[in-house]
Amino acid sequence: MSWRIVVISHRAKLDYKLDYMVVRGETTCKVHLSEISILLIESTGVSLTAALLSELSKRKVKVIFCDEKRNPISELVSYYGCHDTSLKIREQILWNENSRGNVWTEIVVEKIRKQKELLEILGKSEAGLLGQYLVEVRYNDETNREGHAAKVYFNALFGKEFSRSLDTPINAALNYGYSILLSAVNREIVKSGYITQLGLFHDNMFNPFNLGSDLMEPFRPIVDRRVVEMMPEKFEHEEKVEMLSILNEKISIEGRSQYLNNAIGIYCRSVFNAIHDSDVAQISFWGNEL
């Protein structure tokens, strides 16, 4: 099982040789492709060979590219995630509307529950209001309890003056963490044979990752907690490395301790099973402790 998150932060040339990724910079090192879960290209001074990109795609390694400000800007998404991709995509197009709505409702409830738990851990009185929103969630979140909860939640975490539209280190950290989380979810979607464009709730014609945007929601509080712990006054290389490390955190899912990166795969597969069988009880959310 792949487990290593590789970050290339300086000028280098990456190529492929005998099942290894060879990194040629000030020094030369090799990493076996079977060990790599995510490859983050943080520097625009990096060049890669087509042979390496091809092998990374075959092995379902998530490759994330950053812009000149070292922020994630794009990712490599394979055409073929598994042997029956064509069948899975046909099924995805025909997913039952009621089943999709029920699954989205469960995702919203779980997201608000995790937000409430984080506020309780931090001793925030606003947790009680989120508890009220939990019982008010209706099918497909028709009354937008998710949106109301988000406003209360972020103000409780970062203050009444906080807005997600502000250009601050806190928002930079949140955006970076969410980008990494979204990439990990997209990797599992493609790996399972589905496409990221067709979502359960998100349906933006300009968003190539609608399904990933849906499925990542219950994991967002993990990013939020890390940002609260950091409360960054700047957001540069060291802070980005710390945010990236959340994928190696251990959480509980299906009664076992798993790295977040692995737990995301377990959760995504359970969602697909729930949609296929029209049974939301099959969804495996991560444990109750942050």
Q: Could you read off the pLDDT of 56-103 as tens digits, one per residue?
A: 999 989 899 999 988 888 998 887 778 899 999 999 999 999 999 999
Q: Please report how the helices 145-158 and 127-136 are oriented relative to each other, as an axis angle in degrees rounded to 10.
A: 170
Q: Average pLDDT of 200-217?
A: 96
152: amino acid identity, one letter: V
216: closest CA among 233, 234, 202? Answer: 202
Same domain, 63 and 128: no
User: Is 290 a residue whose pLDDT tops 60?
Assistant: no
User: Same domain, yes or no, for 144 and 54?
Assistant: no
Sorting pLDDT into bands at 50, 70 and 90, what band is 288? low
CB atoms within 10 A of CB 218: 21
pLDDT at 4: 87
pLDDT of 34 over the 70 cut = yes
Q: State yes or no: pLDDT of 289 exceeds 60.
A: no
Total count of residues recorded for the chain: 290
**122/228 same-domain check:** yes
**What is residue 77's predicted lDDT score, i.e. its pLDDT?**
82
Of 76, 98, 122, the domain-final residue: 76
- Cα within 13 Å of Cα(215), Cβ side: 34
Regarding whether 241 and 106 lie in a shared domain, the answer is: yes
Residue 231 belongs to some domain of the structure: yes
* φ, ψ for residue 163, nearest 5 deg: -140, 145
For the full predicted model, state whether its pTM sits above 0.75: yes
The CATH number of the domain where 66 resides is what? 3.100.10.20
d(CA 3, CA 26): 25
Whether 37 and 96 share a structural domain: no
Domain boundary residue, one of 76, 97, 116? 76
> CA 183 to CA 180: how far, in whole Å?
5
Separate counts of helices (H) and strands (E) for the chain: 10, 10
Alpha carbons 259 and 257: distance in angstroms, whole number: 7
Residue 260 has pLDDT above 90, yes or no: yes
Asked if 182 and 231 sit in the same domain, the reply is: yes
| Structure confidence at residue 107 (pLDDT) | 98
The model's confidence at residue 266, banded by pLDDT at 50, 70 and 90, is: very high
What are the pLDDT digits (tens) for 150-192?
Answer: 999 999 999 999 999 999 999 999 999 999 999 999 999 999 9
DSSP 142: T
